[in-house]
Amino acid sequence: MRLMRSFRAALTAAVTAAASVGLALSSTGTAQAATPLPSHVFAPYFEAWTGESPAALSAQSGAKHLTMAFLQTASKGSCTPYWNGDTSMPIAASTFGSDIRTIQANGGDVIPSFGGYTADTTGTEIADSCTDVQQIAAAYEKVITTYDISRLDMDIEVDSLDNTTAIDRRNKAIKLVEDWAAASGRKVEISYTLPTTTQGLADNGKALLRNAVSNGTRVDVVNIMTFDYYDNQPHDMAKDTQTAAQGLYNTLASLYPSKTAAQLWNMVGIIEMPGVDDFGPAETFSLANATTVYNWAVSKGINTLSFWALQRDNGSCAGGAAADNCSGIQQNTWDFTHIFAPFTGGGSTTPSNDFSVALSPASGSVTAGQSATATVKTAVTQGAAQKVDLSVSGVPAGVTASLSPTSVTAGGSSTLTLATTSAAVSGTYTVTVTGSSASGSHTATYALTVTGGNGNQCTAAPWAKDKIYTGGQVVSHNDHNWKAKWWTTGEEPGTTGQWGVWQDLGAC
């Protein structure tokens, strides 16, 4: 697997990245029944060559299912696949095993994908490389049993799409795997990931599917890469997704005339490329496009929603070109994931927007006259980013609070400054930062300790409106101590006058 690729290469890789979901680890090698994928699943691509942990990124992003890219042979002519074609990354529990178990334990799964742009242009896609159908089938079965997965993806593009002999070998090997799985009581799905035009598959993609039908090979999902069109035309990327998918639907309808419309749409998978794709800014998939595609995908009942790749879902290179580690547009980290994630399982509603607020650090100690600072961090926890207004409460006398800025877009941060004066009273105070938006509000607290101030902190329990007090009890309220002269409840200290129930004992 090439770590540095041309834009065109990245395109195909992204495309390839659109497989599916479902990888659970089994050390037994037996044909146990893996948990099937949901009938509607969001499974973004994970770039397996980066050294990152798929389980960690799954947890951080909220993407429970991942498409793992890619599996290929180390050299042309070989029948042994490795992750990224790297002989140090064999199909074994030692490679991604603990990550896959963790993902599965958290209710998700992975979809391993064979092929990809690099493999498909170097003869290392396994069916291009290996001429023995039985050995190809054995390699597929090893991946299934080693990781206990329920779906394999075949990313076939560029040169591999025109290798008709290898296409026939691959489909024959898949048929052997499907027969083996059926005899073993195991559910195994097969998806093909293919490039597309804005109107559907090109002729070689259609020929691949016709060959599958002629071999009796069941194809469960066809993922189309709805990006990198390279046609020098203006593009509405969301609309292009829909017309490309309609073209795919029409092809599937001709190949499978007995299937209903709902069954045909449930064979469709979509792979997007967030932000700027390899062609350049003329093919930019925006957050607004993502929302449009999500709603369309829900309405059609498609099977798989994906994008290339999870590591690109951030705005660290806004204004730049396509890259494998950022989107090239202004966005918050995981914005695209948060829009697409609710698709898994049902996707019956558009995700509502929500966010979180946190302070770092969450406590600090200052000498009266000095200042303390903390970073107010916000993050998108659901839906899309929205404006968050920030405010501060609970600031004690002798302390002033400021926020810079006072509003952010969820995913952004602000600086909280707490400036004290010599008049501040020594003690520890809870300062609350509140983030408010159209979806609601969330808070985070900061424990501020002031030392060396003039005076002492009130030590008596604060007055409570609903509590019953009897004569002699002392409370604190508005930086004063107050003593009850007789039984009382609901009467606020400082409002009852000289002859009232509360006696002012002075400042504290």
The pLDDT value recorded for residue 411 is 84
Across the chain, what does the average pLDDT equal? 88
Q: pLDDT grade, residue 348 (50/70/90)?
A: low
The pLDDT value recorded for residue 26 is 34
Q: Take residue 135 and report the two structure tokens written for it.
A: 């050995």
**Residues 171-198 pLDDT 10s:** 999 999 999 999 988 999 999 999 999 9
User: CA-to-CA distance for 247 and 240, rounded, in angstroms?
Assistant: 11
Per-residue pLDDT at 132 exceeds 50: yes
User: CA-to-CA distance for 455 and 368, rounded, in angstroms?
Assistant: 11
User: CA-to-CA distance for 401 and 392, rounded, in angstroms?
Assistant: 7
Q: pLDDT grade, residue 345 (50/70/90)?
A: confident
What does the pLDDT average to over 45-55?
A: 96
Per-residue pLDDT at 24 exceeds 60: no
Per-residue pLDDT at 498 exceeds 60: yes
Q: pLDDT grade, residue 264 (50/70/90)?
A: very high
User: CA-to-CA distance for 186 and 176, rounded, in angstroms?
Assistant: 13
The pLDDT value recorded for residue 8 is 32
The pLDDT value recorded for residue 28 is 36
Per-residue pLDDT at 350 exceeds 80: no
**Residues 216-238 pLDDT 10s:** 999 999 999 999 999 999 999 99
The pLDDT value recorded for residue 365 is 94
Per-residue pLDDT at 349 exceeds 90: no
The pLDDT value recorded for residue 352 is 67
The pLDDT value recorded for residue 356 is 83
The pLDDT value recorded for residue 27 is 34
> pTM here?
0.67
Q: pLDDT grade, residue 154 (50/70/90)?
A: very high
Per-residue pLDDT at 20 exceeds 70: no
User: CA-to-CA distance for 16 and 112, rounded, in angstroms?
Assistant: 11
Going by C-beta distance under 8 Å and a sequence separation of 6 or more, which residues neighbour residue 139?
79, 80, 81, 91, 126, 130
pLDDT above 90 coverage of the chain, percent: 69
**Residues 275-285 pLDDT 10s:** 999 999 999 99
Distances (CA, A) of 430 to 396, 427, 450: 9, 10, 11
**Structural domains in the chain?**
7-346 (3.20.20.80), 354-451 (2.60.40.10), 468-507 (2.10.10.20)
- Given a contact cutoff of 8 angstroms between Cβ atoms, the answer to whether 381 and 356 are in contact is yes
Residue-by-residue DSSP string for 262-321: HHHHTTEEEEE--EEETTEEEEEE-HHHHHHHHHHHHHHT-SEEEES-GGG-S-TTTTS-
**Residues 87-124 pLDDT 10s:** 999 999 999 999 999 999 999 999 999 999 999 999 99
What does the pLDDT average to over 402-429?
A: 91
CA angle (487 as vertex; 483, 491 as ends), nearest 5 = 70
